[in-house]
Amino acid sequence: MPLFEHPIVAQWLVPIFIRIFFVFGVIGFAVGIGIVVNHARMRQVFGVMNRFVSLRHRAKWLAVPRDIGLGVQRYPRLYGTVFASGGAFSAVMLVSQTEFSGLVFDPGHGAPRTAVALIVGYALVCARWFLIVGGIFAIAAGVMLIYFPKQLAAIETYANRWYSFRRHSRGGDTMHMALDGWVESHPRAMGLTIAAAALFVTIHYGLLLFVRS
């Protein structure tokens, strides 16, 4: 069965996308006509709507490193036992009790495996092996914390590098208003272009919407 004929895609995803494009087509057509008729008023509307919300300031606490090494080094045997036993339990359970290779996405219509099911299945298999490897590393870290704490501290000193996405994403909060300036410098041409493109989208998805309904 082709992907777009699958019941989930045909009955849920496609109608949702058709309605989204139809609504935004109507909005785009109204914006284009508004720019042509009264671009000064539309500029005021855009000025009210263009509110810049920065996640950089809101998410600052996520970029603050928190060191728990002192607490772990104070009770090495306790934490080492917890790490080793937890890693061993998770690894054994994931190896012996969990199997995703036979995953089949079947919504009850007898449909064969789809591309979405394959993606989900491979993602679960990769996550399973990632957790198994993580459990093995937890066992090794626990054993080293109990019997070789100095060697583990040396490895942590070399491996504990803090990489801040916040530092490398400073330019992501810069507002780029070149398109707005271009529209303001050619209001009628840009308004007609936006209205024509939006009208085509509205008619196309409107026909799909009413035909499907």
Number of neighbouring beta carbons within 10 Å of residue 11: 10
pLDDT tens column, 79-108? 889 999 999 999 888 888 766 555 444 444
pLDDT tens column, 38-75? 888 888 888 777 777 767 777 777 777 777 777 777 88
**Spatial contact of 86 and 144, defined as CB atoms under 8 Å apart:** no
The two structure tokens encoding residue 164: 């801040």
User: Over pLDDT 70: what percentage of the chain?
Assistant: 75
pLDDT of res. 139? 94
Mean pLDDT of the residues in the chain:
78
pLDDT at position 112 over 60: no
